[in-house]
Chains A and B, each alone.
Chain A
Amino acid sequence: MLSAGFLRRPLVRHLVIAVVLVVVLFLVTGILSSYNNFQIALIASYVIAVAGLSLLTGLNGQISLGHGAFMAVGAYTTALLETHQHWPLALVLALSAVTAAAAGLVTGLGAARLRGPYLAGATLALAVGLPELTIKFTSTLGGESGLPVNPPPPVSFLGASFDPNRYLAWVSILCVAVTLVLLANLVTSRFGRDFRAVRDDEIAASLSGIRVAGNQVLAFVVSAACAGLGGAIYALATGIVNPAGFTLVLSIAILTGTVIGGLGTLAGAVWGGILLVYLPRWSESLSNGFKLNKVVSSNLSLGLYGVVLIVVILAFPAGLQGGVRQAGRALRSRFMSGPGSSGSTGAAAPAGVSTPVASGGGGETS
């Protein structure tokens, strides 16, 4: 439903689609269980972060392994302001994005001089290093055990008995919609064209008057802001922020989601986000199905991330744009048929992602 052509249409169209989607999803949250609503919030947090990274990597050609760290910045901001200072939710979310954007600005200033593996290495250090800061500042940031985050209380006119998870799902859907509309317009704007020009050929871009460094910093700031907002919702959904939640694995997971969804496509970010929530569940049902022991099962989803990353990048070597819609369709049919089909579904998952490409068409896999 979100085709690539969609991104090239003007603001109005983005808004219409976004509004329709938001309304549909709002209605859907009513029939879903509280747990499913919680999952929607979780998916939303990933979608936003993945969309941000997709902009940076797919459109601007800069890789970041540090988006987990930017999510941490947003999440801790939310914990401090929402739960401890009781600031209004909208303001907290905005400020979470802003603080992450500030972190992105600092990193981006350094990153604009770095390329390829150098950039990956620098952001890798950020991903590993930043969460460890929380231990240095245990009194404010809670150290290893982290900080609790209260779920946002539903606004009063919804009534006292309104399910907070459903309310959270609403909030996060709204955030996804706002983020994607803003990003979609950014992509079609002059900035988006400049982003692509810089990605394709920095020298040519600078000759045509684009300030390459400034452009790259801007991409980093926008991308980090998205990660920060994603982190804020992640914090609200999980109810706690601690360093263990923002390890390198999270950064790699975000990258996985981005690669799977298709670098540079915002629609792909949605599939990427969904996958990041469901992949661990698949692997869990897989390991339950095979009665694997605890250590194995707890590491299986991590291993699956690795397998999926490798398989997808090998099977879609020229970039994912072409295959992604088919892969998305395969994923969606899987999503619709539900995770209830347990073990066998999980086992088929990686194959399901690559099959449409291998067979050259037809998203309908067995």
Chain B
Amino acid sequence: MLEVSDLRVAYGAVSALDGVSLSVGPGVTTAVLGANGAGKTSLLRAMTGMVRAKSGRVVWKGTELTRLASEEIVRQGVAHVPEGRGVIQDLTVEDNLRLGGLWRSDREDRRKALEEMYEFFPALRERRRRSAYTLSGGERQMLAVGRALMARPELLLLDEPSLGLAPIIVAQIMELVARLSADTGLTVLLVEQNARAALSISERAVVLSLGKVVVEGAAADIAADEELRHHYLGF
């Protein structure tokens, strides 16, 4: 389904991804782990055209993505919740949500999706007319995830959804991701520093270090490998 091969990204002279390859099967949740600066964010950004890859390919359902603009990649069913969430503060909660699905022409289904998001996240319904500026960190994360889901994506890229959130909210978000994957067959790439939480809901995992894949395997195996955990994952 998703094939990343030999992807390289550099910011000027700084190399961020140094030939990353991975493949993700349909409906599989894969944790992308690694220390700060390992290149996790750059991987996602290259996949959705937010940075141009220097070389390499990203093939999703037979379509090569690295040549496409972000707005076209989204139309291929790929949704990206960026690091820091990317909530548009000057818009209301509802406008933020609606924006996520606007490119789809099915107006009726857009309305249905909005209703579903309000059911997933009742807190957002209460605040629908407020500016996103007034939301708490957890609410913003819900908004960002909900907004991405409005597009009814088949591949969801989540960049550190637990960053800066209280443990109980982290648990809620992980549970939601697990449920989405189980209910809708969504394929998920979950970038996390919180490796323990991420591994607990993932089937597979990749560990990045200095722009390279150092380990790829079943999430359970990686969680069980004590040396690996100490070395790369810090728990």
Determine direct contact between A and B, CB below 8 Å. Answer: no
